[in-house]
C-alpha cells in the first residue's frame, strides 16, 4: 500500500493571553492509499487538532504548527500557499465533523449545500451537470433526490449526517477525515452510517482517518490504529497488533479494560484512574506516568523512545531495549 499522507514529528500549540497549550507533541503517522487509520484516545488527546492541522484549519492566530512536516502525495502541505491549498480542501482532502446539526446551514436547502462544494471545485461544470451530480450523491447516501429542496430541519440526525457525508464525498476526495462521525447519532443509526461510509469508501477508493473513542468501531472499520495520549502516539500498528495478545502500552490496556465484555463475568470494569494531564503543564518523563500502574522512577524523569517491532510501535520504557 503506497503512502498518501505522512505526518512527521508534528507539534501544535495554542497560545492564549496567559499560557500555551501543548496539544500535539511529536506525532508521526502515515496513511496509505485506500487505507483506513483509526485514531483513538480520550477527549483532549489531540486527535482533532492533528486532523485540523492536515487541513490547515487551526484557529487563526491562536493555533500554530510549531514543528514537523505533513507530506501529502509527495507535496509539503505546510509550504503550499493558502490560495492553492483551498483547492485541496474539500476536493482532495475532506472532513466530516462530529455534529451534523452544526455542520449544515439551517436556512439553505440540502441540495444547494451539496451543489456548493461541487461548483466550487468544478467551475467548468454546467448547471445541469451539477444538478445531476447532486442527485447522484444524495441517492448514493440513501436520500431520495426529490428531497433536495428540503431544509436540514426536515431530516433526522442520521439523515443529516448522510447529507454531510454526501458533501464530503461529492468531489471524490482521496482522503476523508471523519471526526467522530457517529457520536451524535443513536446506536442503530450509527451502525447504518458507518456501514454506508465503509461501502462508499470502498467504491470510491478513498483513504480515511477515522477519529473515534469507540474501539468496536475501529475493529470493524480500520486497517491500522494509532492510540493517542496527551498529544503523542503511544501505540500504533495494524488492527491485529492492537487487538491481539502481544505487547501493549499500559494506556491501551486501560482503554480495553474500560470496555464491557459480554463474555467476561467480571462484576466491575477497570477504568483508567485519574485524568488526562493539563496540556499547559504536561508531566515530565512519560506523560502517562501519573496514571500508570507500572510507573517507575525512570518513567517520572525520562521520556520513553518509540520502539518499533514489525510495524508495531510502542512508546513505553517497559519495552525499551535496556529493559
Ligand atoms: Fe507506564 Fe512507564 Fe510505560 Fe509510561 S513509560 S506507560 S509510566 S511503564
Q: What is the pLDDT of residue 259?
A: 66
Residues 229 and 311 in one domain: yes
Choose one of 253, 289, 306 to mutate for the ligand 1 pocket test, by most ligand atoms within 8 angstroms of C-beta: 289
The reply to whether 130 falls in a domain is yes
Atom of ligand 1 nearest to the CA of 292: 1
pLDDT of residue 323: 43
Residue 252 domain-assigned (yes or no): yes
209 plus 73 within the same structural domain:
yes
Confidence (pLDDT) at 145: 95
pLDDT of residue 321: 63
Rounded average pLDDT per 10-residue block, the chain, 323 residues:
90 94 97 96 94 95 96 95 90 88 92 95 94 93 94 92 91 92 77 83 90 88 96 97 93 82 64 87 96 96 95 94 51
Q: Point out the domain boundary residue: 172, 192, 207.
A: 172
| CA-closest candidate to residue 36, choices 1, 12, 60, 80 | 1
Radius of gyration of the chain (CA): 21
Q: Which CATH number goes with the domain that contains 289? A: 3.40.50.300
Question: Do 186 and 44 have their domain in common?
Answer: yes
Residue that terminates a domain, selected from 157, 172, 187:
172
Whether 143 and 185 map to the same domain: the answer is no
Which of 135, 150, 172 marks a domain boundary?
172
Q: Rounded distance, CA 296 to CA 303, Å?
A: 12
Query: Are 197 and 165 in a shared domain?
Result: no
Residues 42, 183, single domain; the answer is yes
**Residue 255 C-alpha to ligand 1 middle, in angstroms?**
15
Indicate whether 156 and 227 sit together in one domain: no
Residue 99 lies in a domain: no
Quick check: is 97 in a domain?
no
On whether residue 67 sits in a domain, the answer given is: yes
Count of domains for the chain: 2
- For the chain, the residue count is 323
Judgement on whether residues 265 and 116 belong to the same structural domain of the protein = no
pLDDT of 2: 75
Q: Do 115 and 140 sit in the same domain of this protein? A: yes
Alpha-carbon torsion, ordered 227, 228, 233, 237, to 10 deg: 10
Asked if the structure places residue 101 within a domain, the reply is: no
| pLDDT score for 119 | 95
Torsions phi, psi for 182 (to 5 deg) = -120, 5
Cell numbers of 240, please?
491485529
Do 88 and 221 lie in one domain? The reply is: yes
Domain assignment of residue 84, given as a range = 3-92+173-319
- Residue 100 belongs to some domain of the structure: no
Single pTM value for the model = 0.90
Query: Buried b vs exposed e over 182-200: b needs ≥16 C-beta within 10 Å?
Result: bebbeeebbebbbebbbeb
Tell me the best of 302, 317, 319 to mutate to test the pocket of ligand 1, counting ligand atoms within 8 Å of each CB and taking the most: 317
Whole-number pLDDT of residue 33: 94
Name the residue of 229, 230, 250, 320 to mutate for ligand 1: max ligand atoms within 8 A of Cβ: 250
Q: Are 122 and 231 in the same domain?
A: no
Ligand 1 environment, Cβ below 6 A: 249-250, 286, 288-289, 292, 294-295, 299, 304, 316-318
∠ Cα 102 104 105 (to 5°): 105
Say if 182 falls within a structural domain. Answer: yes
Are residues 68 and 206 both part of a single domain? Answer: yes
Amino acid at each position: 500500500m503506497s503512502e498518501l499522507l505522512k505526518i512527521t514529528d508534528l507539534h501544535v500549540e495554542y497560545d492564549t493571553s496567559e499560557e500555551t497549550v501543548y496539544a500535539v507533541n511529536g506525532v508521526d503517522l502515515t496513511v496509505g492509499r485506500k487505507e483506513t487509520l483509526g485514531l483513538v484516545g480520550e477527549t483532549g488527546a489531540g486527535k482533532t487538532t492533528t486532523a485540523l492541522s492536515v487541513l490547515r484549519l487551526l484557529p487563526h492566530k491562536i493555533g500554530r504548527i510549531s514543528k514537523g512536516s505533513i507530506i501529502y502525495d509527495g507535496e509539503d502541505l505546510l509550504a503550499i500557499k493558502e490560495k492553492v491549498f483551498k483547492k485541496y480542501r474539500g476536493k482532495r482532502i475532506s472532513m466530516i465533523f462530529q455534529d451534523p446539526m452544526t455542520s449544515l446551514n439551517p436556512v439553505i436547502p440540502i441540495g444547494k449545500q451539496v451543489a456548493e462544494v461541487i461548483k466550487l471545485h468544478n467551475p467548468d461544470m454546467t448547471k445541469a451537470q451539477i444538478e445531476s451530480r447532486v442527485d447522484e450523491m444524495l441517492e448514493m447516501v440513501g436520500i431520495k433526490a426529490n428531497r433536495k429542496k428540503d431544509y436540514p430541519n426536515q431530516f433526522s440526525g442520521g439523515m443529516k449526517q448522510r447529507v454531510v457525508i454526501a458533501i464530503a464525498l461529492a468531489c471524490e476526495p482521496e482522503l476523508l477525515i471523519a471526526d467522530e462521525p457517529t457520536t451524535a447519532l443513536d446506536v442503530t443509526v450509527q451502525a447504518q452510517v458507518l456501514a454506508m461510509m465503509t461501502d462508499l469508501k470502498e467504491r470510491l477508493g478513498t483513504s480515511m482517518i477515522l477519529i473515534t473513542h469507540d474501539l468496536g468501531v475501529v475493529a470493524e472499520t480500520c486497517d491500522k490504529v494509532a492510540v493517542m495520549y496527551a498529544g503523542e502516539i503511544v501505540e500504533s500498528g495494524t488492527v491485529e497488533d492492537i487487538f491481539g495478545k502481544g505487547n501493549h502500552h499500559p494506556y491501551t490496556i486501560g482503554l480495553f479494560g474500560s470496555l464491557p465484555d459480554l463474555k467476561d463475568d467480571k462484576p466491575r470494569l477497570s477504568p483508567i484512574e485519574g485524568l488526562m494531564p493539563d496540556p499547559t503543564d504536561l508531566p515530565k518523563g512519560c506523560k502517562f506516568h501519573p496514571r500508570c500502574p507500572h510507573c517507575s522512577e525512570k518513567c517520572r524523569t525520562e521520556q520513553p523512545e518509540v520502539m518499533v517491532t514489525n510495524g508495531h510501535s510502542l512508546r513505553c520504557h517497559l519495552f525499551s531495549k535496556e529493559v
